Amino acid sequence: MGATKALTFPIEIAGSKPPIMSMKLACHNVSFGMLFPISSSIKTRSIMGRGKSPMADGKKTGHRTDRLVVFDVEGVLIPKNRYLPFEASRKIGFRGIIKIIALGFLYEIGLLSLESALKRIFALLKGLEAEEILKLHKRIPLIPGTEEVFKNLNDKGYRTALISSGLPTQVVEDLATRLQADYAYGLELEIVDERLTGAIGGDVLRSGGKAAVLQRILEKEDLAPQDCVVVTDDRNNLSMFPLCSLRIGYSPDFVLTAKSDFVTKGALTEILPYITGENQPRSHSVMSRIRGLREAIHIGSFLLTFVCIYLLGNTIVASLILAIAVLYALSEVARVRGINIPILSSITWKAANKTELYEFASAPIHFALGIAISLLIFPAPIRYVAITTLTLGDGFAHIFGMKLGRTPLPFNKGKNLEGTFFGFLFAFLGAMIFVDPTRALIAAAVGMLVESLPLPLNDNLTMPLASGLTLLLMS
């Protein structure tokens, strides 16, 4: 007989929003020359249900009493890439951190499946104390507005479910208890002698697994797709889209930006009008102090073109920008770990949006790389035109998109026609300082086209490179 192992069977109990409970059983692994992964083969998720309660305010919302809202967890309820890259990696050293980041990058660009990436990542945690790993999420704050969203939905009688492919079931259950959600699903960890073996399993890990889990919930609740809403941030959740009539992308990746019905990138409370049908006033005329500082930095970087021309030269400026980017990256790692670095960390706290405050803010790094690479690989004046499309085009697109935006682009619901037009206009006017109107027009058009497309790479990097390469080919 093998070592004694504790298995956790999540149990949902009928009633009105009781805490999710679990029952632990002592089991033995049977050794057949290797350890048999009991957690992935035996542990199953019960969907024996909670009772249905009438919606608190059904007449006002106009919705049926029975509706289900499904949430992805990482990137929607808690900051993206915090649990594994930053919290769990504290236990495995610097080399482990680099491996986790590399595996995550391979998944993001599509060279590695999520299941393969997660299995390799959790293999790095082999031998660590299970209890310690399962408590790491308590260090991670909720996305701003999360508790308000769940209180609102609970008060109105909505069913809620948390489904995660990257977090252990015990972690998801703890979050569900805190938020009074009805269902909680995560991946299953194999634990022997209170330590992780590195093996993982569960329905949510497999391709289409989240859809299978959601289908069981819908059948149990006797709901149809028109009664289901999904809120998610990445393509791993696409399998659930056919099962939900309303698909909301929250700070989504490039795939979901195109496939979601609605896209929002602010506080989580911005999803409520789409779900409940209640209108919330949205001001297009007032820009927050944080957003104003952010866009001032973005647009003000246009002046770097004149610094290169009249003062320091492109090589020195590019070198300084890259050095600052490295320092910024190090300061972000420290900040996420709770260590503030003077000046750099304070700039992040003042310029980052609410979501970025709790995760690694990578946009400034892409912005710096876009400018530095343009300075190094393109000849004058093309390098300056490339920087202009990024700084003026992208910057003014954000400003006018917030103030005047009314018409979402059909292929990218996170952008709008008004912002794209004004971004093109300012990019064109700025580019004419360095080149003739025809080339300025083409560079601005290419840059704003790339800015509007849902692409896997950050537009701070793709915009200047696309504009610069286009002019280079023309010459």
Please say which residue of 276, 299, 334 terminates a domain: 276
- pLDDT, residue 139, reads 82
Tracing tokens 């805190």 back to the chain, one arrives at 178
158 and 230 in a single domain? The answer is yes
What is the token pair recorded at 194?
Answer: 């209170």
User: Does residue 281 form part of some domain?
Assistant: no
Q: Where in the sequence is the domain holding 344, given as residue range(s)?
A: 289-474
- pLDDT, residue 9, reads 39
- Give CA–CA dist 183/174, Å, rounded: 11
User: Does residue 42 form part of some domain?
Assistant: no
Which candidate, 301, 307, 312, 308, places its Cα nearest to that of 351?
301
Contacts of 112 (CB under 8 A, 6+ apart): 103, 106
User: Does residue 36 form part of some domain?
Assistant: no
Looking at residues 44-53, what average pLDDT do you find? Answer: 32
More confident residue, 338 or 459: 459
More confident residue, 91 or 209: 209
259 and 296 in a single domain? The answer is no
- Domains in the chain: how many in total? 2
- pLDDT, residue 137, reads 84
CATH of the domain at 99: 3.40.50.1000
107 and 231 in a single domain? The answer is yes
The string of pLDDT tens digits covering residues 373-393 is 999 999 999 999 999 999 999
247 and 344 in a single domain? The answer is no
199 and 347 in a single domain? The answer is no
More confident residue, 284 or 209: 209
More confident residue, 64 or 293: 293
The string of pLDDT tens digits covering residues 275-290 is 988 765 454 444 566 6
335 and 235 in a single domain? The answer is no
Cα angle vertex 202, ends 199, 203, to 5°?
150
Cα angle vertex 104, ends 359, 122, to 5°?
100
User: Does residue 20 form part of some domain?
Assistant: no
The string of pLDDT tens digits covering residues 297-343 is 899 999 999 999 999 999 999 999 999 999 888 887 777 766 777 76
- Give CA–CA dist 110/429, Å, rounded: 38
Please say which residue of 246, 276, 306 terminates a domain: 276
Please say which residue of 243, 276, 309 terminates a domain: 276
- Give CA–CA dist 450/456, Å, rounded: 11
426 and 303 in a single domain? The answer is yes
- In order, the DSSP letters of 128-144 are SBHHHHHTGGGGSPPPT
pLDDT above 90: residue 19: no
User: Does residue 60 form part of some domain?
Assistant: no
User: What number of H helices and E strands is found in the chain?
Assistant: 20, 11
Checking phi first, is residue 79 left (phi over 0); if not, alpha (psi -120 to 50) or beta?
beta
104 and 158 in a single domain? The answer is yes
Average pLDDT, the chain: 81
Count CB-CB contacts under 10 A for residue 52: 14
User: Does residue 87 form part of some domain?
Assistant: yes
pLDDT above 80: residue 40: no
353 and 211 in a single domain? The answer is no
What is the band of 344 on the pLDDT scale with cuts at 50, 70, 90? low
- pLDDT, residue 7, reads 42
160 and 271 in a single domain? The answer is yes
Count CB-CB contacts under 10 A for residue 323: 12
The string of pLDDT tens digits covering residues 346-356 is 666 665 666 66
The string of pLDDT tens digits covering residues 235-282 is 889 999 999 999 999 989 888 888 999 998 888 999 999 998 876 545
Q: What are the Cα distances from residue 233, in Å, to 8, 51, 265, 298, 408?
A: 28, 30, 10, 25, 18
- pLDDT, residue 280, reads 55
162 and 247 in a single domain? The answer is yes
248 and 303 in a single domain? The answer is no
User: Does residue 225 form part of some domain?
Assistant: yes
User: Does residue 29 form part of some domain?
Assistant: no
- Give CA–CA dist 380/472, Å, rounded: 10
- pLDDT, residue 30, reads 32
